[in-house]
Each structure stands twice: as structure tokens, then as C-alpha cells.
Structure 1
């Protein structure tokens, strides 16, 4: 069994680092922690536990997928309201002043110095750490398949969302298309391609930064969070999606599958 390891800084946590399967699981919105150095951003405890601060259920599913797939997991340790690790530093969404129907007082009128402080403290360490994990596996002859795990709300500005499982791609759609096909064949989930978000919504930064330059197969999974609201539901969803991902990788005939083995 692979050892769980934690990075020397608290903005990123790595687990199953010694895993040898073909996948590498990423969870950029895993945490709703607000480090003392950045305060609460003027938000109530209720707001800091809401979906605006993190992706509820995503870390639980990501951890279980990593275990089932014999994959390492790289997860965020800081709320996305302090810095959204799936956004580049020049994006307004990286330190958003408003999320859904919440104003974020601590992010209003941020100056360049504060944006740089957060970028250096959170964004750069996280993505450097993820890139290092990818490089280690490349050097070992195990080019990883990048799977980013997210969750989304069942209601968006008063409108219910029917989609239960969204599969998002950036430049390369091959693995995403295979995941959709396998999910429709193997599960009862309402699975849709590029819903409820797509690359046009600037949600594929991690894939574009970390996977595309190396030519790595990649996909972003979006799970409706009412379906993963308990630890039992997280485990059940991971058990459903793990064979979907394995079959999709085989169907997509990704180069990683030829080079990596358990």
C-alpha cells in the first residue's frame, strides 16, 4: 500500500505518492481552510463552509479514486476564495470579489502587492509541487493521466441542474469523450460533455498548464454535490467512476496506457 505524504507547506497535500497506476488525481478545490495570514476575507462561518469556498465532496471522491486506481493525489489545502488554483494569476477569478450571490469583502479592490503575495504563497507552490510529481513520473517512465476532480451545486441562481456528472476537456477531447461513452454505458448518471462548465468558462487552467505541454491525456470531472454529500456517497461515487476511468483510458488508447502498468 502506498504511503501517504504531506508536503512541507500547507497549501498542497500529496497522498499515495508511491502509487504506480497510470492516473494522477488532482483536487484544486479540496479545502475551505482560511490561513491566519489571509484572515476570513470578511466572510461568515456559513459563507466559508458554502460551495463558494470549496467543492464539497470532491476531496472525498478524489481520495477514494486515488486508492482504487493506485494513483497519487495532489490536493489543495487552502480555500479557493483566497486563491483559486484553477485560475492563472492574471485572471479576475483567481481572487474573485464576488462568487455566486456572495460578495467577498477581503477580495475587493486588491492591489498588485496583495495579488502577488497570494500568488507566491499559494499558486506557485501548488503548481510547482504538481509539476514536480508529474516530472518524477515522466522520469520513471510512467507518464500520468491527469484527472481533476470537482463538484458543482444542484441549483444555479435558482435554476435546477439536471446534469449529474459533467466531463470537461481542454484542447484534447479524446479521454473526455471516452469517459462520457463509458459513463453512459456503465452507469445511470446523467452524464454530459462540457456541462455545467467548459473550457470557455476558464475552468481548464490546470489541465492546460500541467497536462497539455507534456502531451498527457487529461480530463476534468464535475460531480453534482448532492450526490456526494456523505462519506458513504463519496465512496459509492468513486466505486462507480473508477472502472469508468479505467475503461475510458483503454478505449482512448492513450500512450500512457502502453507505458504504465500496475
Structure 2
């Protein structure tokens, strides 16, 4: 029998209990690279209070719950680049840490045709608890790391994600292997594209595919990238390419070479602001 968890307020008024993991994990926090890595959809944890959100365990294996393979690639990049990495531990179905609070996808009641009973008819207090105890601490830690890192380096921010080859809701094939997302500032995206094509011009890479960066459907780009004026890019990798450890290692190695080349390119090609 599926359990959606007890959504009544705990005696201390908190969502997360002592047995729940922290919202973030830092890997290689003292890394010497000027690159800082994020992986906002790494984990599939659900606070004990919320049970399983009313969905089967099989749903937590799908792309709706987390970015398949992204954590492995991000960790591989962190090692290869000697770059600090901030990972999110909770499922995007609990709260999406790459969405603004007002975004419908921040706590979706439906995700790619799957109903999420534990997210239906959430009260304002329930939404705020998830946001304030998971989303806010994660991004506070990102800001803290970027503040410290920026005192020593000209920081380049790289967020690592993955996407499914097709959505169930439309069945349209997504042929790209890599998507480079940006909003107002395309400097690092264009440098990285140049580096990717230079390494292997058979890679099917595109700008702003299968999503377009914007203020409502992204958080790290506008808040940590654009507001700081630092170079940044969100990398989307098709998840069938990185579903296993071998694929994750292969693409981490390839992207590490490309990122290293991109952040070494002189000048400020593209648009900022």
C-alpha cells in the first residue's frame, strides 16, 4: 500500500527529521579549478515525513524523480577538473532546486503524465516548509561557496543535468546528445560549444535544447550566474548515454577536456546581459 506520509505539522514545526539527510553535499570543496560545479537533480531522497509521495518505487527510477546519470558525470568532472561540486540530495519531486518557488514545476502534482498524490493540494505552509528546509539551504551553500571561491578565482559556473530521449506526454524524439543552456549571457555556452565541436564534430550538440534557460524554469543561471556576472552554462546530457558507470565516465572525461578548453579561451565572446 502506498503511503503519502503524515503531512501534519511535527511538534517542532519542521519537515526534516534527525534521520533525514542534509539538503546538500559538497565534494572536493577546496578544489583548485576556477570552475564550480552544481548538480541540482542528483538525488532521490524523500523526507521521512512525506513517505513515498504516493507513487511506486519504479517511478523513482525514472527521469521524473532525478536526473539519471548526472551525479556520476558531475563527480567525474569534479575529480578531472579538481573543481568543487555541490549536489542536491532530495528528489526533484519533493522540491525542484532548479525552479523558482512560483514555478508550477517546483513541487509538481503531475510529472510527465504521472500523478504525484503527495504533491496535490499542498497548503502554503507545506510548500514553504519544503522550500525553506531544502531549496533555501542548498542555494545558501552554493552562494557561500561561490563567495569564497570568487575571492581566489575568476569563477565559471557549470550546472550538470540530464534529459530523457523522449517524454511520455508527447513521444517526440530528442536527438541531441548535449544541450548547452543559457538565458541572457551566452559567453561560456559559446566557448564550450567551440570546444566540443573542436574535439568531435560528430557530437550532436545544440544551444538551449531540449529546454531554454529562463527565469522561471531555471534558478542557478539567473540567480548564481547572471546576478553575479560570472560566466556560466547549464549542460544537459541525454540520459541514455550516461545511464551506467561506463557512460558517465566517458562523458565526464570528454566534457572535462571541453570545459578546460572553454574556460581557457581568451576574450568575452558572445553576449552578457
> Do these two structures clear the TM 0.5 threshold for a shared fold by scoring above it?
yes
Using the alignment, how far apart are the partners of 2:247 and 2:58 within structure 1? 23
Could you tell me which of 102, 111, 123 is aligned with 1:99? 111
Could you tell me which of 189, 193, 217 is aligned with 1:203? 217
Task: Tell me the equivalent position of 2:144.
Answer: 132
SS at match of 1:220: strand
Q: Does 1:251 align with 2:262?
A: no
Using the alignment, how far apart are the partners of 2:31 and 2:21 within structure 1? 21
Using the alignment, how far apart are the partners of 1:78 and 1:170 within structure 2? 26
Runs of 4+ displaced beyond 3 Å: 200-203
Using the alignment, how far apart are the partners of 1:40 and 1:214 within structure 2? 37
Task: Tell me the equivalent position of 2:193.
Answer: 180
Q: Does 1:80 align with 2:92?
A: yes
Q: Map 1:36-185; keep pairs closer than 5 Å.
A: 36-139=48-151, 141-156=152-167, 157-185=170-198
SS at match of 1:32: coil
Task: Tell me the equivalent position of 2:12.
Answer: none
SS at match of 2:193: helix
Please say if residues 23 and 137 of structure 2, whose CA atoms lie closer than 8 Å, have aligned partners that are also in contact: yes
TM-score, normalised to structure 2's length? Answer: 0.86
Measure how far apart 1:113 and its partner are.
0.7
SS at match of 1:63: helix
Measure how far apart 1:200 and its partner are.
4.5
Task: Tell me the equivalent position of 1:31.
Answer: 43
SS at match of 2:144: helix
Please say if residues 163 and 236 of structure 2, whose CA atoms lie closer than 8 Å, have aligned partners that are also in contact: yes
SS at match of 1:177: helix
Could you say if the C-alpha distance between residues 14 and 52 of structure 1 is closer, same or farther in structure 2, counting changes exceeding 3 Å?
same
Please say if residues 103 and 217 of structure 2, whose CA atoms lie closer than 8 Å, have aligned partners that are also in contact: no
Give the aligned CA root-mean-square deviation in angstroms.
Answer: 1.7
Please say if residues 29 and 80 of structure 1, whose CA atoms lie closer than 8 Å, have aligned partners that are also in contact: yes
Measure how far apart 1:127 and its partner are.
0.5
Q: Map 1:3-18; keep pairs closer than 5 Å.
A: 10-18=22-30
Q: Map 1:213-224; keep pairs closer than 5 Å.
A: 213-224=227-238
Measure how far apart 1:131 and its partner are.
0.5
Task: Tell me the equivalent position of 1:239.
Answer: 253
Measure how far apart 1:37 and its partner are.
2.4
Unmatched 5+ stretches in structure 2: 1-19, 269-273
Please say if residues 178 and 252 of structure 1, whose CA atoms lie closer than 8 Å, have aligned partners that are also in contact: no
SS at match of 1:51: coil
Using the alignment, how far apart are the partners of 2:228 and 2:61 within structure 1? 36
Highest Rg: 1 or 2? 2
